[in-house]
Structure 1
Amino acid sequence: MILTVDLQSDSAAPTDTSELGVIDMQTDSFVEGSLQPAVPAPPLFNAAAIRQTLIQLVDVAQPATMAATPETVLGAMQRLVDVIGELRSPHSGWSADLPQTPENLFPYVTEEAYDLLDALQQQSIQPTPHATDATPAIAQFLQQDYCSITDLTPWLLWAIARSSYEVMQLMEGVEVQIAQPDQEWQTGILRLAIALQFDSPDLNWALDLVTLQPCQPHLSPDAQIQSTTLSPSSPLVAGELVQQVMQQIQRATPVLCPFVTGIQTTLLMPQDDWQAGLLQLQFGLEFMPTVGTSKSSQDTALNSSSATPDEQTDSPESEPPVPSSSTNSLKPLIQFTDTNWSSQYSAIVNQQHLDAILTHLQTSRTHDAVHLSPTSSIADVVEAGLIITNQLHQSSTLASRNIPHQIWGLSQLNLRLLWCVSRGAHEIMQLMAGIAAQVLQPTQSWQTGTLRLAVNLKLQTPELDWQLDLVTGRTSPVNSQFLAEDAIAQSHQTQWCQHPTLVQRLTHQVMHDIQHATPEIQLLLDGTDINLQQGDEPWQPGTLQLITGFEFVPDRPAV
């Protein structure tokens, strides 16, 4: 239960603690640690002063120079991973009593393993700047010498949310059923609580990054969690869920690892001296029960969780209506029908994710890690294939991005695409939300207003022509008027146009960062074939396409 802290009083609520851990990014293994949920706020906790605090960014590890993975190596590894994946299939005939170790797998992957070893031996892998999923846009924020808590907070939240769609959902809060030790099941909202904590001999505080208030008590690590969103098939243990989330965040966005392990820094609060100490991210779960829940509601939820994922996703009843501005209030379902397009989409996602994992193995410097290099042994190759297969199978980032192979409710698809686009850069998220800006358009005077990156989903069938705004969820005119590329924009709310900047350059920057983080989005910008169903009506063939452009809403009409 979340307790309210009275900021006017001299006390703050206590917090529970649990043993968590961090990822060793050299070995890619989970290391048990003493990372604890946020400590209680001090008696004179001053949220306003903390938000105005200035931090010196020191000892923040920048993303390492990565080694470019040759296409022949990448292709050979993909074939090895595919075979291992097939052997894991329930229909492969693999004995349940025989563990899938590198030694046991070798007779079945001999050809693929030697192909990969041959590719490694024929290629000269040179360290070069390499565009993996850790995009340059992520690291740019950390290149400044100083930043305020006000600026750091939204960047951290974005960097965490980009790790997977499920992590973003958990940050926002999901409906669950909870059974805490010695208590009955309760229904309520579960939220991933993320705190920024600072510890020094003279100053200690922990700030909830979402509420910007003192941290609240965390859910017991032994609590049982049942949720069709998080785990449709079986209950989760709270402590294990937090560990899984932390692993996912660090693998998807390695630049956050120093914040998880702790950064030695100095900060300056208003009306105080410089303080040296440890700045660290803390993770926990908060639960707010719904009033009037009972065991029967838990039984109902558990019964509903027995439905298959396809039934849960495809059910029109789970889908909110089309925005009221549409002339049709039915709840459409969308199915991607171009198999070649879908295969290409998945291949792009899988290859980028595989590239990031393989690059890490190639550049590892620890003695106990699996090394992939021209001098690797065949045993190392098979073991690396098994490790990569495990990571691909467990990656919620990969699952979040692979969208073509299921039926989607329209609003669910909108939210998933919104996440895919916004993970490219924090500035993209800012622009999608809208920023205060000045704009000079040809033949017009300077105007002040709101500049926004519009991302619209255009749907066409023989009977309809829709264009839905992913951010607002509302229909927009089919022929939306975007700013001309030769217009000038300036805003102090984003680094991308601190000075007068051509809209054409802004557009190029957006597409550049999207291509680094989610290159598969280009296929959606090109468009693809779909089937669309409204209610009980027959499926209709149609097309789907993402359309982007900059919109400007002036505070007052141009003179």
Structure 2
Amino acid sequence: MVSSAVRSLTPWLPPETAGLSGATASTLGNPVLNHTVCRMVPLAMERPGLERVPAVAIALGQLVKQSLALRSPTGGWPADLPQTPENLAPYLSEETGELLEILAAVEPGLECDRTLVPVPTLVPHLLWMLASSGYEIMRLIEGVQAHIHSPEAQGAAYVIRLVPVLVITVDGASYALDLVTQTDPVPTLYLPESSEIRLLENDLDSQPRPWGDLLTKIAQQVSDHQPGLAALLGDGGQVDILQPWQPWQPATLHLHLHLAEMAVQGQAQPALAASAVPEALYLPPPSWSSTPATTPSFTLDDFASTLVDGPGDATTGVLGDWLTFTDERWVQTLLTTSAQRLIAQHLPQLWSGLAGDLTAEQRSHRETVCNRITYRAADLVQGANGLFKHTFVHEPVLVADLWPRLRWYLAQSSERVMQLLGGVSAQVLPPGLSWQQGSLYLRPLMQLTTPQRSWIVDLSRGRLLPTSPQALPGDAAVDVTDAPWRGQLSVAELATLVDHDLTTFTPAIAALRQGTPIHLHRLDAEAGCQLGQLTLNWCFTL
């Protein structure tokens, strides 16, 4: 997915990297890692996975449906009985048993063989896995404003970011890499885990908490949503690596999480390049240049660079109004599929332990594991708003807080979608013109419509647009130069790939293309609360 660190992080990148719109994935700051290849089992669950097996999908849906029904306010749960995995288990035993029974009947052959993965390819993949684990995690990786309470900070407001560090240990030597800047880590910027922080941006959970506690919750959230990273966050993952002039050697991968201070709030930052997310369809023929693009790949830096430039733009116009989703059917689809997806990530683990004849104790253990996973999945989509919750759809939400959340739902659907949101180096041949080179962007557009007027919000930057940007024609040829799915495609074929990812992994977001009814609470209008519709569309621009 990724290629460099976000352009919004430019002040903290090395001078030789900061001038680029993104450091390429093939030019890591560590020359040793840049030429290292790993032989390993894929970290992310292969798709189509177990949850795509029809019988498994039905059983999974029934388990989530019953779990959410039991935990709902109208579910009839005794008020004096805590809702714990152990207490809920007897009421879910039928659905849990059916899912495990169906999994046990799935034919072998779904296990993944070890594959060769160059470290420059592994780095963006790890970043996507982390960012897709939670909205707050993605925002922390990109960098957010926060109050820091520590003996050194004295409650000042800073820009902080989550620093994921990949450590590869081989033959007694260790190599460390900051996954975001793709350079050597800078431990002097790390905050002590005893520091208390309070997040300040958007509707992020602003409860003050020790950084160490938040770090523990982040690690648990990542392990829940991407079980393949659990070993890396713990004792380490075992792989084989190959380096120039060396034989294959056993190695250990670790993933360490830190919080780093980036700048004091208000510190001047360089303006983003005007071409970061261009409005034009393509360069006019006289301006065409044959110079190769300098950024053939993409990292979370490129993705975060599409954020709004300054806080002054954040609540302009309709962005400062409140929105309520009124279609409960759509709301439940969003919540249910979010819960199902978390459980689906653990299906390979559950399936692998069901082979052969199990003892009663082993079966009981599998049921206990499944109950705990189901409990955590339901907890994310029910109850009060809070850290890592999807429950913002139950209450009025500021439009300025909604667009970055929708942007995350798009990005976490697949690594490919996140790459395209941040921009990929490509050549495009529109009919009637010559080849054009630049960054190809997936542009998601949220349209809010009331009987009186409508607004278009560019989810790439959170800006109001006077009209939709001019999109690349569907019959234009596209050559993506640095992506796992690279090759000659038409824009229409690329759009089909995106539609497939969204429909398969985030069906509620894909359904927004047809629109969903809303109430728009306009604070600057006499009408006050107005009936309206939210529609989500996407197109490609260069």
Q: Work out whether the TM-score is over 0.5.
A: yes
Q: Which of 392, 401, 421 is residue 378 of structure 2 equivalent to? A: 392
Please say if residues 319 and 398 of structure 2, whose CA atoms lie closer than 8 Å, have aligned partners that are also in contact.
no
Return the index of the structure with the highest Cα Rg. 1
2:218 aligned partner: 245
Matched, 1:215 2:190: no
1:539 aligned partner: 529
1:313 aligned partner: none
Rounded to whole Å, the distance in 2 between the matches of 1:472 and 1:336 is: 22
Matched, 1:126 2:106: yes
Rounded to whole Å, the distance in 1 between the matches of 2:375 and 2:265 is: 44
SS at match of 1:197: strand
Please say if residues 197 and 206 of structure 1, whose CA atoms lie closer than 8 Å, have aligned partners that are also in contact.
yes
Q: Which of 57, 65, 77 is residue 38 of structure 2 equivalent to? A: 57
Alignment of 1:266-345 (within 5 A): 266=241, 268=243, 276=249, 277-287=251-261, 290=264, 321=313, 328=317, 331-345=320-334
Deviations 1:71-101 (A, max 9, x none): 5533542354235525899994215xx7957
2:118 aligned partner: 147
Please say if residues 431 and 453 of structure 1, whose CA atoms lie closer than 8 Å, have aligned partners that are also in contact.
yes
Matched, 1:113 2:93: yes
SS at match of 1:445: coil
Alignment of 1:466-485 (within 5 A): 466-476=455-465, 478-485=467-474
Q: Which of 398, 421, 427 is residue 432 of structure 1 equivalent to? A: 421
Deviations 1:117-174 (A, max 9, x none): 47866997424788xxxxx9xx99x95x35253x443332222111100111222233
Counterpart of 2:322, as a letter, is L
Measured at CA, do residues 339 and 87 of structure 1 come closer, stay the same or move farther in structure 2, by a change above 3 Å? Answer: closer
Measured at CA, do residues 488 and 124 of structure 1 come closer, stay the same or move farther in structure 2, by a change above 3 Å? Answer: same
Rounded to whole Å, the distance in 2 between the matches of 1:53 and 1:528 is: 46
Rounded to whole Å, the distance in 2 between the matches of 1:479 and 1:157 is: 31
SS at match of 2:106: coil
**Alpha-carbon deviation of 1:463?**
2.3
Rounded to whole Å, the distance in 2 between the matches of 1:122 and 1:199 is: 40
Alignment of 1:70-109 (within 5 A): 70=56, 73-82=59-68, 84-86=70-72, 92-94=78-80, 100=84, 102=86
Please say if residues 320 and 411 of structure 1, whose CA atoms lie closer than 8 Å, have aligned partners that are also in contact.
no
Please say if residues 516 and 534 of structure 2, whose CA atoms lie closer than 8 Å, have aligned partners that are also in contact.
yes
Please say if residues 104 and 354 of structure 2, whose CA atoms lie closer than 8 Å, have aligned partners that are also in contact.
no
Measured at CA, do residues 51 and 419 of structure 1 come closer, stay the same or move farther in structure 2, by a change above 3 Å? Answer: farther
Rounded to whole Å, the distance in 2 between the matches of 1:398 and 1:179 is: 20
Structure 1 residue runs of 5 or longer lacking an equivalent are 9-45, 131-135, 293-317, 553-559
Query: Percent of aligned pairs with the same residue?
Result: 25
Rounded to whole Å, the distance in 1 between the matches of 2:318 and 2:257 is: 41
Structure 2 residue runs of 5 or longer lacking an equivalent are 1-10, 16-26, 267-309
Counterpart of 2:237, as a letter, is G
TM-score, scaled to structure 2:
0.70
Please say if residues 460 and 466 of structure 1, whose CA atoms lie closer than 8 Å, have aligned partners that are also in contact.
yes
Please say if residues 140 and 161 of structure 2, whose CA atoms lie closer than 8 Å, have aligned partners that are also in contact.
yes
1:264 aligned partner: 239
SS at match of 1:548: strand
Please say if residues 315 and 400 of structure 2, whose CA atoms lie closer than 8 Å, have aligned partners that are also in contact.
no
Matched, 1:509 2:493: no
Rounded to whole Å, the distance in 2 between the matches of 1:516 and 1:451 is: 23
Matched, 1:456 2:438: no
Please say if residues 70 and 76 of structure 2, whose CA atoms lie closer than 8 Å, have aligned partners that are also in contact.
no
Deviations 1:261-311 (A, max 9, x none): 234343547xx867954343221222468489xxxxxxxxxxxxxxxxxxx
Please say if residues 529 and 541 of structure 1, whose CA atoms lie closer than 8 Å, have aligned partners that are also in contact.
yes
Please say if residues 361 and 370 of structure 1, whose CA atoms lie closer than 8 Å, have aligned partners that are also in contact.
no
